Homo-oligomer: A and B are copies of this chain.
Amino acid sequence: MKLYTFSRSSASFRVRIALNLKGLSCESVPIHLTRGGGEQHSAAFRSVNPQALVPVLEDAGHMLYQSLAIIEYLEETHPAPALLPAAPADRARVRALALSIACEIHPLNNLRVLGYLTKTLNVDDDQKKAWYRHWVEQGLAQMEEQLSADQATGRFCHGDAPTLADCCLVPQIFNAKRFDCNLTHVPTVMRIFDACMAVDAFETASPEHHPEPA
């Protein structure tokens, strides 16, 4: 397997965590998203993924896109340890938590959106940061409400073993910290983040362990 990845891409970070949790080794192909206008826009990479997005997982001749689809693929091809619980309603809960990050928070704050705000809408730096924090803080507040009110929440987002939801939560908190978001209003989220970061699979997937070559 080969993973096209960028250290600070939180979607790539999700897949690195899932690979680690499942004990799978994988060759890394670094795609630097900010160097030289972004290596994801190169003809070479666009032949890998016309969406010009990382991560891409290459496995057995298949090119797989979209971090959540990749993790579901890993779950189906390497079921143990499971990143989704067994019962359909529990699986739905874990997927919904993951999608709450992947569809409600993260898409508003990626590079191309921030670029449109500053270049096309002429938003200034303070407004850009306020936009970023608004969606992160509001989205995490809603997750806090869902996590803290539900007995299914355990040491991790769902019970006492890491799931797909935790694979999404941790990279989102890394982004939140990088943009100095307020995190004091989400104690359950942060307790789970700390529990995850105490697990090697999460810690060694983090950006500082995956620097791009100089």
Contacts and interface: CB of A to CB of B under 8 A. Distances in A.
A72 B69 CA distance: 12
A89 B62 contact: yes
Contacts of A103: 66, 68, 102-103, 106-107
A50 interface: yes
Interface string A24-35: 000000000000
A123 interface: yes
Q: How many copies does the complex hold?
A: 2
A50 B89 contact: no
A129 to B, nearest CB: 13
A95 B68 contact: yes
Interface in A152-208: none
B64 A89 contact: yes
Size band of the interface chain A makes with B: 35 or more
A82 interface: no
Contacts of A142: 50-52
Contacts of A120: 130-131, 134
Given A64-B96, A99-B69, A88 B104 contact: no
A88 B96 contact: no
A70 B68 CA distance: 15
Nearest to A11: B103
B127 A121 contact: yes
Contacts of A52: 142
A188 to B, nearest CB: 13
11 contacts: A50-B145, A51-B104, A52-B142, A53-B104, A66-B95, A68-B99, A73-B88, A99-B102, A108-B113, A116-B131, A117-B121
